[in-house]
């Protein structure tokens, strides 16, 4: 199959993953054959516009949504084939952090209990041990365990709730975390605090991250490599610096151009690609970006472009990649 | 200078809450000339929306408003409800973050556009329809004639915002207030909507206020920027001047905290510690003092007032302003 940034035994290896939803008698093609790899200790950023399938992909990796086809290999084991107790045991090693921190915390439970919950589910019966772990992770995310453990979620701001969620995701000592837009709902000043915290936690606990966001600058700040997704497929995967300096896929270039830069000397480029993403219920034939692509030709509607290497470590799915 | 189209004079808004009085807008002065764009930036809860609602006279019922809002020679605060209603939608238009706030879900797009047009302009039905089609085309809606018969839920978020803009523009307003018009949209759609607003603004010589929490949005699109913090305007300047030499530590911190595309991955962000003060517990001194790395003793004791900088039109509220002389620019 495709080899992306071939390194010795990646921690996560997603191979040709397909995820669909039924919608009445129609099918939503949310993820249509995505392959990617994440090395141990690496952060892979995943960007794309709303509805392109980022969350679906993240959830399918964690087996929270079963794929229609394709495989998810984690540390050499096939998660897609796992069930029952084996899957439950595996789930301790992988975690998920959500976009809406406030909504993902049970409003009637105390912070200490919320953070301890994964430990209880994992069957850790020793209450003193649980308390010790909860204290450890709450301190790690910059909260004072003695002050916060007995309080309820509504007493905390969005940024503090996200710290609590991060603490909860760390409590089982996972190896891999899917961060699904962890800072999108936060203010700029708080966003920077949380991004720094994630980086710190990653170093301290030796984590591997799949970091999902729609903000390219946010993704660049934390990612070693970035994957760009459009309408259920990957367009481009490359080391962060390279992707931003020399995008090969026209969609990556469009995304980069559209970002408002906080510098008045940078005149915003007149928005080039008009139009909006088509529906994932009836995605275009061939290249799914072709309805908005300035370089599209006949081949683009006839033939699905495969991800292929365009520069060392850089892969693009395009018949006419940018130089 | 000619008289400004809009002059916000000493406007304050207080809201009663269970925790006590909340000062959402704390004595703000701003003005805007015809045909110019003012950007208002600040974090969530700093009072941007309350200020724009104070201008529009669309505050919550229990809110207490003081000060004057001079628009085209009239004080909107003292205007009769009937005259206000006529003004809103004609000379004074607004676009909200969520287009569904301004669109009616049970009426077709055509009905909504034509109703607004006929209410404010003397046009018969066929003329109003023709104008509706023209407007939808102007805001970049493909097949506008077919769209007239559709309902808002049949359109994407970006389309709905275009339609809300078409309705706002339908009566050639003198001032358009856009409150986070693109916050709910994807970047590529955001760029399209911002371009659209800029184009229509130039073409109609309309004044515009863009409210956003994104300094990137105002950098490229506003003539002047006002930075709000905890209900007050803490810095205000022509856009170039502000970005070249900001004097307020808060503005600098806000800009520094944004991840930039030209920074290498894994560079720690200069985050602002803590968070804004509780608006029901006003601080005696500068409201940024608990988070400010330049704060001195005086900052805890008194509120700094807006002071003129060397560039005309540049004002800052700080006891220890930064970059006051040439040569210390970062
Ligand atoms: N439970 C579901 N049933 C049907 N369709 C769904 C369901 N969940 C998601 N979808 C659809 O699948 C597609 C991918 O959705 P997904 O949430 O993965 O996108 P996303 O990239 O995470 O978007 P966002 O940035 O808005 O979070 C979208 O078209 C969405 O409407
Ligand atoms: N209806 C209301 N009743 C009481 N307080 C309110 C009400 N609406 C807003 N507030 C408060 O008034 C203050 C200013 O709110 P405002 O909505 O103007 O902020 P904003 O700058 O527009 O924020 P955002 O970026 O989140 O839209 C906040 O402290 C907010 O909690
Ligand atoms: S394959 Fe064709 S349509 Fe797709 S991105 Fe490349 S040039 Fe554009
Ligand atoms: S007045 Fe003092 S606390 Fe306020 S911004 Fe200036 S230096 Fe900081
Ligand atoms: Mg999502
Ligand atoms: Mg607001």
Establish whether residue B213 lines the binding site of ligand 2, counting it when its CB lies within 6 angstroms of any ligand atom: yes
Main-chain phi, psi angles of B182, to 5 degrees: -125, 5
Measure Cα distances from B177 to A103, B39, B81, B88 in Å: 31, 10, 20, 11
Q: Please tell me the residue having the least CA distance from ligand 1 atom 26.
A: A50
Q: Which of A280-284, B190-194, B239-243, B263-267 has the lowest mean pLDDT?
A: B190-194
Establish whether residue B17 lines the binding site of ligand 2, counting it when its CB lies within 6 angstroms of any ligand atom: yes
Residue-wise pLDDT for A263-316, tens only, equals: 988 877 766 556 788 889 999 999 999 999 999 999 999 999 999 999 999 999
Q: Where are the domains of chain A?
A: 12-248
Inter-chain CB proximity A50 and B186 less than 8 Å? yes
Cβ atoms of A272 and A296 closer than 8 Å: no
Give the domain B6-222 fold: Rossmann fold (3.40.50)
* Rg value, chain B, Cα: 21
Contacts of B279 (CB under 8 A, 6+ apart): B22, B23, B24, B45, B230, B231
Residue A14, helix vs strand vs coil? strand
Residue-wise pLDDT for B29-52, tens only, equals: 999 999 999 999 999 999 999 999
Measure Cα distances from A308 to A14, A255, A284, B103 in Å: 16, 20, 21, 46
Q: Closest partner residue to A255 among B188, B192, B253, by Cβ? A: B188
Residue for token pair 């453990």 = A149
Q: Which two three-digit tokens encode residue B8? A: 């916000």
Residue-wise pLDDT for B63-92, tens only, equals: 999 999 999 999 999 999 999 998 998 899
A311 touches chain B (CB under 8 A): no
Inter-chain CB proximity B265 and A240 less than 8 Å? yes
What pLDDT is attached to residue B1? 64
What pLDDT is attached to residue A54? 96
Contacts of B190 in chain A (CB under 8 A): 258, 260
As a whole number, mean pLDDT of residues A141-155 equals 92
Question: What's the length of chain B?
Answer: 330
Choose which CATH entry (3.40.50.150, 3.30.465.10, 3.40.50.10600, 3.40.50.300) describes domain A12-248: 3.40.50.300
User: What sign does the dihedral B54-B56-B59-B64 (CA atoms) show?
Assistant: positive
Pocket test residue of B16, B46, B97 for ligand 2, highest count of atoms within 8 A of CB: B46
A268 touches chain B (CB under 8 A): yes
Cα separation, B132 vs B126, in Å, equals 10
Residue B122 predicted with pLDDT over 90: no
Inter-chain CB proximity A195 and B269 less than 8 Å? yes
Residue B330 predicted with pLDDT over 80: no
CATH 3.40.50.300 boundaries in chain B: 6-222
What pLDDT is attached to residue B142? 81
HEC per residue, B73-126: CEEHHHCCHHHHHHHECCCEEEECCCHHHCCCCCCCHHHHHHHHHHHHCCCCHH
Inter-chain CB proximity A262 and B267 less than 8 Å? no
Q: Please tell me the residue having the least CA distance from ligand 3 atom 6.
A: A318
As a whole number, mean pLDDT of residues A217-242 equals 97
Residue-wise pLDDT for A46-86, tens only, equals: 999 989 999 999 999 999 999 999 999 999 999 999 998 99
Residue-wise pLDDT for A8-23, tens only, equals: 689 999 999 999 999 8
Suggest the residue from A226, A262, A289 to mutate for an interface test with chain B (most B CBs closer than 10 A): A262
């Amino acid at each position: 199959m495709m080899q992306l940034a071939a390194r010795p035994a990646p921690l996560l290896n997603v191979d040709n993953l397909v995820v669909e939803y039924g919608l009445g008698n129609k099918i939503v093609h949310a993820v249509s054959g995505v392959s990617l790899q994440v090395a141990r200790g690496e952060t892979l950023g995943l960007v794309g516009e709303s509805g392109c399938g980022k969350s679906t992909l993240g959830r399918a990796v964690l087996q929270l949504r079963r794929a229609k086809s394709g495989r998810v290999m984690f540390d050499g084991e096939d998660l897609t084939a796992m069930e029952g107790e084996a899957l439950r045991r595996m789930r301790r090693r992988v975690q998920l952090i959500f976009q809406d921190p406030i909504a993902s915390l049970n409003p009637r439970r105390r912070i200490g209990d919320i953070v301890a919950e994964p430990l209880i589910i994992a069957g850790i019966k020793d209450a003193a041990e649980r308390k010790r772990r909860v204290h450890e992770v709450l301190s790690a995310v910059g909260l004072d365990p003695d002050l916060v453990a007995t309080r309820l979620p509504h007493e905390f701001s969005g940024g503090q709730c996200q710290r609590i969620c991060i603490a909860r995701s760390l409590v089982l000592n996972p190896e891999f975390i899917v961060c699904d837009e962890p800072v999108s709902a936060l203010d700029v000043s708080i966003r920077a605090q949380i991004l720094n915290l994630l980086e710190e936690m990653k170093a301290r606990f030796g984590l591997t991250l799949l970091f999902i966001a729609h903000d390219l600058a946010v993704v660049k700040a934390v990612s070693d490599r970035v994957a760009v997704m459009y309408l259920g497929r990957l367009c481009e995967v490359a080391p962060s610096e390279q992707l931003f300096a020399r995008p090969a896929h026209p969609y990556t270039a469009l995304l980069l151009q559209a970002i408002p830069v906080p510098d008045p000397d940078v005149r915003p480029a007149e928005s080039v690609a008009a139009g909006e993403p088509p529906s994932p219920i009836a995605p275009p034939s061939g290249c799914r970006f072709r309805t908005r692509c300035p370089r599209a030709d006949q081949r683009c509607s006839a033939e699905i472009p495969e991800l292929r290497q365009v520069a060392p470590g850089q892969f693009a799915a395009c018949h006419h990649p940018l130089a | 200078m000619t008289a400004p189209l809009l002059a916000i004079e000493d406007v304050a808004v207080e809201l009663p809450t269970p925790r006590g009085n909340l000062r959402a807008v704390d004595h703000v002065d701003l003005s805007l000339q015809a045909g110019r764009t003012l950007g208002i930036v600040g974090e969530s809860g700093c009072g941007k929306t309350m200020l724009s609602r104070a201008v529009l006279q669309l505050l919550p019922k229990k809110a207490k408003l003081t000060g004057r809002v001079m628009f085209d020679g009239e004080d909107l605060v003292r205007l009769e409800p009937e005259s206000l209603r006529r003004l809103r939608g004609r000379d004074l238009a607004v676009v909200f973050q969520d287009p569904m706030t301004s669109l009616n879900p049970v009426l077709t797009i055509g009905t909504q556009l034509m109703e607004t047009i006929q209410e404010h302009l003397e046009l018969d039905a066929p003329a109003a329809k023709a104008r509706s089609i023209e407007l939808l085309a102007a805001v970049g809606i493909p097949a506008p004639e077919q769209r007239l018969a559709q309902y808002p839920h049949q359109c994407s978020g970006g389309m709905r915002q275009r339609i809300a803009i078409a309705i706002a523009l339908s009566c050639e307003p003198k001032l358009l207030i856009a409150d986070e018009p693109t916050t709910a949209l994807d970047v590529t759609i955001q760029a399209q909507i911002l371009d659209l607003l800029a184009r229509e603004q130039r073409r109609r010589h309309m004044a515009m206020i863009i409210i956003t929490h994104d300094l990137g949005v105002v950098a490229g699109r506003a003539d002047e920027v006002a930075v709000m913090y905890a209900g007050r305007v803490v810095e205000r300047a022509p856009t170039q001047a502000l970005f070249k030499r900001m004097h307020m530590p808060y503005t600098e911190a806000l800009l520094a905290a944004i991840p930039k595309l030209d920074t290498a991955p894994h560079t720690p962000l200069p985050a602002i510690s803590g968070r804004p003060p509780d608006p029901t517990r006003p601080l005696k001194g500068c409201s940024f003092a608990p988070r400010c790395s330049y704060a001195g003793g005086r900052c805890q004791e008194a509120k700094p007032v807006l002071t003129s900088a060397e560039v005309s039109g540049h004002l800052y509220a700080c006891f220890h302003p930064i970059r006051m002389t040439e040569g210390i620019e970062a």
